[in-house]
Amino acid sequence: MATPIAFMNGDYVPLEEAKVGIMTHALHYGTAVFEGIRGNWNPEHETMYIYKLREHYERLLRGCKMLWIDVPYSLDELCEVTAGIVERSGYTEDLYIRPVAYKSQEMVANLNLRSLGDGFFCLAVPFGNYLDASGAISCCVASYRRIDDTMVPPRFKLSGLYLNSILAKTDAIAAGFDEAIMLNMDGHVCEGTGENIFFVHGNTVATPTLESNVLPGITRDTVLRLLEDELGMRVEQRLVDRSELYTADEVFLSGTAAHVQGVGSVDHRPVGNGGVGPVTQRLQELYFPIVRGQNPSYLHECTPVQPKALLGA
Ligand code: PMP
């Protein structure tokens, strides 16, 4: 039997006991840094594989530096604590793991990050598909532009920043689309609300540069490497024009929650033939076994954890 466990301020506790007060700074102002990490259940191995755990915490710690948040754990300790939650919770299904480092001080009307105390918690919950990994989704171009690095840096997962994605996503769903694609302040394509974006043009795949105000996605890195090393494709990181959304052979998204997701239409115009294109499909065939610990060549990217139920604890 699975029991939801959180790690909060130094202890493993039942998830329902992990609470914050209503004066918590992060709740008022979004002064937090978070990660979204996946634990992928492999029934044959009876093992949870946490994909690129260290890379997620490296990104979290970079965001903490930006927000003057002091996390009292090393990178190794953060990884150990996270594996500890998965082990103790005992889930035998796919998980979403959410660490949050935040301004925990219960103080209102204080906008100086350096005078506020910090907290850290992490939890894991069962999580299936975020988007429709089996088919191609419909997208629109958002009317909200992606926030620029000169405003709030989008290269870190800062909680307050996500209002930008949330407004765009909410409008997209209300208009009947599955996802919104955001342009940056100069009108170039940036990313989805929670995914990086790729464009297939013949044997070349383009994706916006990091300076386009995208989140440096961990799945983006995986995809770029698989495209070059496994599929032998040419990869370009460059400025991408809006019109490419309507004319590329294929458009696909990548993200921890979204995996590798085909885009079937943008603003009602079909992309390719409107289904999941052949390059996207080949990437998916490579990606899913890797994150589930089924490809020995990439096993070093996964942290294996045995849930307590199977340890007889
Ligand atoms: N862009 C944004 C805005 C995101 O929130 C995410 C999800 N973390 C991504 C891209 C994809 O990043 P990753 O592959 O590291 O999950």
pLDDT in tens, 251-294: 999 999 999 999 999 999 999 999 999 999 999 999 999 999 99
pLDDT in the model for residue 133: 64
Under 8 Å between Cβ of 189 and 181: yes
- The residue whose CA has the least distance to atom 7 of ligand 1 is 194
Per the prediction, the chain carries an average pLDDT of 96
Question: Which ligand 1 atom lies nearest to the CA of residue 220?
Answer: 14
Length in residues, the chain: 313
43-70 pLDDT tens trace: 999 999 999 999 999 999 999 999 999 9
Strand partners, 85: none
192-219 pLDDT tens trace: 999 999 999 999 999 999 999 999 999 9
In the predicted model, is pLDDT for residue 111 greater than 50? Answer: yes
pLDDT in the model for residue 9: 87
pLDDT in the model for residue 312: 54
Kindly state if the Cβ of 303 falls inside 6 Å of ligand 1.
no
- Among the listed residues 52, 103, 157, 308, the single catalytic one is 157
* DSSP codes, 221-237: HHHHHIIIIIT--EEEE
pLDDT average, residue stretch 69-86: 98
35-44 pLDDT tens trace: 999 999 999 9
Under 8 Å between Cβ of 38 and 305: no
- The residue whose CA has the least distance to atom 9 of ligand 1 is 195
pLDDT in the model for residue 311: 65
Residue 18's Cα: distance from chain center in Å? 23
Residue 116 Cα to ligand 1 midpoint, Å, equals 27
pLDDT in the model for residue 256: 98
- The residue whose CA has the least distance to atom 2 of ligand 1 is 194
In the predicted model, is pLDDT for residue 313 greater than 60? Answer: no
Residue 107 Cα to ligand 1 midpoint, Å, equals 31
Instruction: Count H helices and E strands in the chain, helices first.
Output: 8, 17
Quote the Cα angle for 277-282-286, to 5°.
Answer: 145
In the predicted model, is pLDDT for residue 90 greater than 70? Answer: yes
